[in-house]
């Protein structure tokens, strides 16, 4: 993206785009946090908004809010994928993601995850659907509540709680069943 010259946005488009940015940036950063660390997530989102600004007049301003958000989520996911492909350290980071919080009393998720080695836990999580993995990371790693995750992902609270329960049950089955699903 560096070195590309683009026409500046007209004044009327700047205010429209600024309003879109202000109303969506926190949701987009939360979405990007599922894919990477906080600082990289902010960089991903910034790059996605740069791309969005370039396409604002020609494409995005004519879409409804839902389609704009889908475009942004897709853009962020593709940018993250591109970066991950070139980032040889990603594999090391994935193995260290879960570190239990010892400052509070253990809950069922922490007990299940702490009793299984971190690598076995992540192997089991990687076998889950992408949506379930995203929910697991948001709840167990980033500490979001089920209601917050539901808002971030546009799902119902009960669907998020159900996914958490199924993931926890899967981890417990793998622990108790010696790895059988």
Q: Dihedral of the CA atoms 62, 25, 132, 83 (nearest 10)?
A: 90
The structure tokens listed for 142 are 């980033």
Q: 32: how many CB neighbours lie within 10 A of its CB?
A: 25
What pLDDT score does 157 carry?
93
What pLDDT score does 142 carry?
72
**What are the residue ranges of CATH 1.10.10 in the chain?**
90-176
Alpha carbon distance 21, 14 (integer Å): 10
Q: What is the chain's length?
A: 181
What pLDDT score does 4 carry?
53
What pLDDT score does 116 carry?
47
What pLDDT score does 21 carry?
92
Please report where in the chains the tokens 């109303």 appear, as a residue: 23
Q: The CATH number of 90-176 is which of 3.90.550, 1.10.10, 2.20.25, 1.10.3820?
A: 1.10.10
Please report where in the chains the tokens 């949506």 appear, as a residue: 131
Task: Report mean pLDDT in 10-residue bins for the chain, 181 residues.
Answer: 61 88 91 81 92 88 87 84 64 50 57 59 78 83 83 88 91 65 44
Q: 127: how many CB neighbours lie within 10 A of its CB?
A: 12
The structure tokens listed for 130 are 């992408």
CA angle 67, 73, 78 (to 5 degrees): 125
DSSP letter string over 74-85? HHHHHHHHHHHH
Residue 28 and residue 45 in contact, taking contact as beta carbons nearer than 8 Å: yes
154 φψ region: left (φ > 0), alpha (ψ -120 to 50), beta (else):
left
What pLDDT score does 180 carry?
46
Alpha carbon distance 86, 83 (integer Å): 5
What pLDDT score does 76 carry?
85
What pLDDT score does 59 carry?
86
Distances (CA, A) of 39 to 15, 42, 110, 122, 129: 27, 5, 26, 23, 26
């Amino acid at each position: 993206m560096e070195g590309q010259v683009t026409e500046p946005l007209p004044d009327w488009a700047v205010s429209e785009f600024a309003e879109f940015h202000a109303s969506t940036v926190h949701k987009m950063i939360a979405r990007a946090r599922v894919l990477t660390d906080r600082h990289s997530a902010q960089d991903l989102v910034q790059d996605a908004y740069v791309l969005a600004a370039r396409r604002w007049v020609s494409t995005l301003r004519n879409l409804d809010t839902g389609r704009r958000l889908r475009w942004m989520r897709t853009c962020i996911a593709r940018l993250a994928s591109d970066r991950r492909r070139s980032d040889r350290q990603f594999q090391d980071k994935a193995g260290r993601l879960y570190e239990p919080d010892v400052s509070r009393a253990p809950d069922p998720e922490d007990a299940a995850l702490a009793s299984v080695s971190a690598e076995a836990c992540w192997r089991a999580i990687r076998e889950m659907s992408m949506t379930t993995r995203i929910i697991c990371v948001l709840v167990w790693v980033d500490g979001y509540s089920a209601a917050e995750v539901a808002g971030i992902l546009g799902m119902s609270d009960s669907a998020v709680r159900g996914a958490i329960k199924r993931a926890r049950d899967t981890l417990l089955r793998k622990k108790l069943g010696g790895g059988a699903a």
